[in-house]
Amino acid sequence: MTLESTGTAARLRYYRVRAGKSREDVARHLGINDAWYHDLEREDHALAATLTLFQAIELASFLGVRLRDLAADGRSPSEPVDLMELPARIHEHVARTGLSIERLGEDLGVDLQAFMRSPLKFAAESPLGFLQAMAQRLGIDWLSLAHDERSA
C-alpha cells in the first residue's frame, strides 16, 4: 500500500509523525482542542467536515507539506481559481443550468447568498466540505482554490 492510496486521516498522521510534531503541538498551533485533532487523524471525513480551507492550508504548512499532499493523491490542481471569482462562476452555473441561487444553496445546505456577498468571510467560517461540494457543482477542482498555499 502506498501513501497516496491511504485515507486523509492516515496521511495526516504520517506527515505529523514525519514532521516530528505531537498531536498536542498541532492542535495548539491550529487553535483546536486535542480531541478535535485526534478526530482528524482517526476519521477521513473530519478534515473536510470541520476545518476551513485556511485552517487546512495552515495545517499542511505547519507539517511542511502542501494541502494536496494531505487531502488527495499529490496531484497538481488545475488552473488556480480565486475565491473571489466563485460568485461569477456561480452566476454562470445558474444561468446555464436554470437553477436559482436559492435552490443551489439548498442543494449545498448553505446560505449561498451570504457566500455571494462575502466569499472570503464565508470560506473562513465554513468547513472545507462546502467548498469541495461547490467546486464539484461548478466543475472545478477544489484544490485549485488553495493556489496561494506555500510550496513545501
Half-sphere exposure of 28 (CA within 13 A, CB side): 5
> Do 95 and 137 have their domain in common?
yes
Domain membership flag for residue 76: no
> Do 17 and 47 have their domain in common?
yes
pLDDT in tens, 30-56: 999 999 999 999 999 999 999 999 999
Domain boundary among 23, 42, 71: 71
Domain membership flag for residue 66: yes
Structural domain containing residue 49? 3-71
Judge whether residue 76 has pLDDT over 80. Answer: no
Domain membership flag for residue 33: yes
Judge whether residue 146 has pLDDT over 90. Answer: no
Half-sphere exposure of 113 (CA within 13 A, CB side): 3
Q: Taking the complete model, does pTM exceed 0.85, yes or no? A: yes
Please spell the DSSP secondary structure of 87-149, one letter per residue: HHHHHHHHHHH---HHHHHHHHTS-HHHHHH-HHHHHHHS-HHHHHHHHHHHT--GGGGGTTS
Split into its structural domains, the chain has a count of 2
